[in-house]
Amino acid sequence: MTERFPARMHDVTDETRAIVDLVLEYSRQRLLAVDTPLDKPLPPAELRRLTGRTITDDGIGARKAVGVFEHILAPSCISTDDPRYLSFIPSAPSKAAAAFDVVVSASALYGGSWLEGAGAVHAENEVLRWLSDEFGLPASAGGAFVQGGTLGNLSALVAARETAREVARERGDAQPDRWRVVCSVEAHSSIASAARVMDVEVVAVPVGDDGVLRGDAVRAALDEHGRSVFAVVATAGSTNFGIVDDLASVAAVTQEAGVWLHVDGAYGLAAVLSPRSRHRFAGVEHADSVIVDPHKWLFAPFDACALIYREPRLGRQAHTQHAEYLDHLTETEDWSPSDYAVHLTRRPRGLPLWFSLATYGTDVYRDAITRSIELAERIADEIDRRPGFALVRRPQLGVVVFEREGWERADYGRWSSDLLERQHAFVTPSSHAGRTNARFAILNPRTTFEDLTGILDTMS
């Protein structure tokens, strides 16, 4: 029977060395693999049959557990870093970032407070400073890395509402019957999710055929709802189309009205790094808060969202948790990331991005993003040329949405399933205005024009 002394899990023993060697060797092989399959999910019953029972009183041992993962569990997960993964918003972490994620876990780092993780927080803050400079935010701007765009949007909106409440108290105004947030009808679903959590109302503003939210539409919403609006959310690269709102005109209206402007750039704001698309983001420098997800177009591993406040003290006032055991941390002026979002315990999830930026430099990021935008434009031209195909909208960034004429939802579904079954590509159907369509989310620098035309060929 296996020994059961408690320290077995933590002491450095021959067993521990063997476990570490197994895990690191698997990680090394995966990171350096050049022919990783796309893979696909298996039904629950099939996974239960293949894996058997893995959680037992005595354990199955590291070698068997790694074998189950390598041969059964991992192949039942689609490889999001595959160049033919073109659904949703892909992830394509740089090799340096993915490798350093192993270091972050191995180092037992805590990233919630300066006291416990000053070195990690310093490195993360250097990344946030670089991003703030790219966005044109003032030198005082700062924030924290959080789990993802949903948590980033929620945290920013909580800070916005708390700020509006304080302003109302200072003015002597009555609190509104219901707080409201204004956004485009094409805003990300996380805005509605945050509103449900916060018990506030979403005012969804209509947009034109181009999908762009503009200042005049925001002004009309503010005129209608007055001081009950605590924030306006503009999108810098919508998930479905990659559309960038008219940030400059929206910012002009929010500044005039004294309303918090939050820019949801989870997918697209990274494209400010590219000279080819930087002009689209004019006005972001006036935002009160912004988010961008490094696990998308900044080539970091899941999961990381950079949340940045124009005035970080407002984020801290909204989010610092107070408790007797935390007073030693919260009564100082130290920069503790836990004070700036809806979280307390956190890993320093910004470190893999820091390491990758420090390793490769920023210019290669600009080039990689530019390449995706150029590839999107090139494949859009190809779709325009092909009989039986039609673009739904001209791409602004790296998302290309198109229709196969004569196809219904079931046709797209069968086509998508067949692509994955044959391990050709992962392209799920999408929809707009009640019509089903196909969509390429181009992000991985390894995706080629031939990959995309090969997928189009399967629709003939």
Domain encompassing residue 130 = 108-360
Query: Based on the domain organization, do 341 and 407 belong to the same domain?
Result: no
Do 451 and 371 share a structural domain? Answer: yes
From first to last of its 460 residues, the chain has per-residue pLDDT tens of: 456 778 999 999 999 999 999 999 999 999 999 989 999 999 999 999 999 999 999 999 999 999 999 999 999 999 999 999 999 999 999 999 999 999 999 999 999 999 999 999 999 999 999 999 999 999 999 999 999 999 999 999 999 999 999 999 999 999 999 999 999 999 999 999 999 999 999 999 999 999 999 999 999 999 999 999 999 999 999 999 999 999 999 999 999 999 999 999 999 999 999 999 999 999 999 999 999 999 999 999 999 999 999 999 999 999 999 888 887 888 888 999 999 999 999 999 999 999 999 999 999 999 999 999 999 999 999 999 999 999 999 999 999 999 999 999 999 999 999 999 999 999 999 999 999 999 999 999 999 999 999 999 999 8
User: Do 251 and 326 fall into the same domain?
Assistant: yes
- Distant-in-sequence, close-in-space partners of 447: CB < 8 Å, separation ≥ 6: 83, 84, 86, 372, 375
The answer as to whether 99 is a domain residue is no
Q: Report the alpha-carbon distance of residue 279 to residue 284 in Å, rounded.
A: 10
Count of domains for the chain:
3
CA 170/CA 152 separation, integer angstroms: 27
Residue 41 and residue 173 in one domain: no
CATH of the domain at 318: 3.40.640.10
Question: Would you say residue 94 lies in a domain?
Answer: no
Same domain, 162 and 303: yes
Domain co-membership, 190 together with 320: yes
Please check whether residue 344 lies inside any domain of the structure: yes
Question: Same structural domain for residues 59 and 120?
Answer: no
Statement to judge: residues 196 and 243 lie in one domain = yes
3-class secondary-structure state, position 359: helix
In a domain, 95, yes or no: no
Same domain, 289 and 264: yes
98 belongs to a structural domain = no
Last residue of a domain, one of 326, 360, 394: 360
Residues 168 and 224 in one domain: yes
Query: Tokens 């023993």 — which residue?
Result: 13
Q: Quick one: CA dihedral 338, 339, 341, 342, positive or negative? A: positive
Q: Can you give the pTM of this predicted structure?
A: 0.96
Q: Are residues 337 and 368 in the same domain?
A: no
